Chains A and B, each alone.
Chain A
Amino acid sequence: MAEIKSDNKWAATQWADKAPLFWQMVFRVFSSDLLLLINHLVPFLLVGSYNMTTSRSRITEAEINELISKLHALLPEARRRGTHRASSAKLLKETCSYIKSLHREVDDLSDRLSYLISSMDVTTSQAEIIRSLLR
């Protein structure tokens, strides 16, 4: 019994010495391939969950209508009388123009902010930060 135990211990120590090296080698050999594989799969993993098949899009047509109405509600249209103005081409064009105008506003605002901040010194900007955090 003692011999078996000692044998096991010896085997255990042998394996314990070699195991990390072994796993390191395995990992090194497969890691490059694994990483490549994962890197290759990630776009499919990401995109696959977002692409909808045609059968699924038929089931969720109510969702599409809801989305369209929500977009419609967001867009700053001055003349919003009936609900039957939601032709998809018009909606898409207006969404695109709205996004472009928002981008332009962000540009303009960052311009003004950069000018203002450059004319302020450090202490005033810190006070301003504290004040706006209190809002």
Chain B
Amino acid sequence: MHATKEFNKKAFLKQFLLGLHVSNSVTNSISIQQRKNSIKLSADLAMALARGRTHWTHALITKLGQKEENKTTLQGILGRRYEILMARYSCPLLYQKVQRSKKSVRSYRFSYAANRRRSALKGSCVRVPPSVVARNLEHRRTKVLKRLVPGGELLNGSSLLSEALDYVISLKSQVDMMKSLWRATQVSSSSRNVELIPSAPLQRKEASCTSK
């Protein structure tokens, strides 16, 4: 049903390394915090671009593009594609709709609570239609998940679940790729620091590569 992330590892790695390279060359003498933010940005962007077009990638790229401090890095990474992507993914009314739905949910909850209070005073049973009850319950249970998955506030039910599944798969492979990249960097930097015989660390690294 869902495309596996196996095919997209190369695309992710290419995009991520390009982003790292750009952020490295653009910002040579800045704080570690900023460098970390740019690394995280390029990792998220690479994950979203490698996955293709799903709802959460759309929402994630929109979110990344809206922040002011990311724009220069994004322009450096994407180059000419930046304008095309921003035109495709910029949709300010999307987030206005989210705020509207939050208000309506709050009014639902308020009326539900008021109804309960009123009927508790009267002593009779609650006069709320079961669909509203079900919807409130579902919303309360999926509140955290909706906040975690990008673009999750607009989805409901099974679509939210499928998007969350896709997002979890992509996140897991992103973490795995970053871990292996970090291990490779660590091995190379440590081998350089120790100044061993040049063939030995390469052999060790090739062995570790093939074992992976």
- B168 in contact with A71 (CB, 8 Å): yes
> Number of B residues contacting the other chain (C-beta, 8 Å)?
58
Q: Which of A114, A127, A135 has the most CB of B within 10 A?
A: A114
One of A40, A42, A135 near B209 (C-beta < 8 A)? A135
Main secondary structure of the interface of B (DSSP, over half): helix
Identify the stretch in A1-9, A20-28, A90-98 within 8 Å (CB) of chain B at 4 or more residues. A90-98
Cβ distance A13 to chain B, nearest Cβ, rounded Å: 37
* Cα distance A63–B158 in the bound complex, in angstroms: 8
**Could you tell me the distance between the alpha carbons of A15 and B94 in the complex, rounded to whole angstroms?**
42
Per-residue 0/1 for A61-89: is the Cβ within 8 Å of any B Cβ (1 yes, 0 no)? 00110111011001000000000000011
Q: A96-B144, A125-B21 are in contact. Are A132 and B181 (CB under 8 A)?
A: yes
Say if the beta carbon of B93 comes within 8 Å of chain A.
yes
**A16 contacts the other chain (CB 8 A):** no
Majority DSSP secondary structure for residues of A touching B? helix
Is B105 interfacial (CB 8 A cutoff)? no
Of B66-74, B76-84, B109-117, B185-193, the one with at least 4 CB within 8 A of chain A = B185-193
Q: Is the CB of B167 within 8 A of A99?
A: yes
Interface residue B133 (Cβ < 8 Å from any Cβ of A): no
Which residues of A (19-70) have their CB < 8 Å from a CB of B?
39-40, 42-43, 46-47, 50-52, 57, 60, 63-64, 66-68, 70
Given A95-B168, A116-B189, verify A106-B40 contact (CB < 8 Å): yes
* CB-defined A-B contacts under 8 Å, sample of 14: A51-B156, A51-B159, A52-B159, A60-B158, A71-B164, A103-B148, A111-B36, A113-B20, A113-B178, A113-B182, A124-B192, A126-B21, A128-B188, A132-B181
Q: Which residues of B contact A (CB under 8 A)?
A: 1, 13-14, 17, 20-21, 24-25, 32, 35-36, 39-40, 43, 55, 58, 91-94, 97, 141-142, 144-145, 148-149, 154-159, 161-165, 167-169, 171-172, 174-175, 178-179, 181-182, 184-186, 188-189, 192, 205, 209, 212
| A residues adjacent to B (C-beta < 8 A) | 39-40, 42-43, 46-47, 50-52, 57, 60, 63-64, 66-68, 70-71, 74, 88-89, 92-93, 95-96, 98-100, 102-103, 105-107, 109-120, 122, 124-129, 131-133, 135
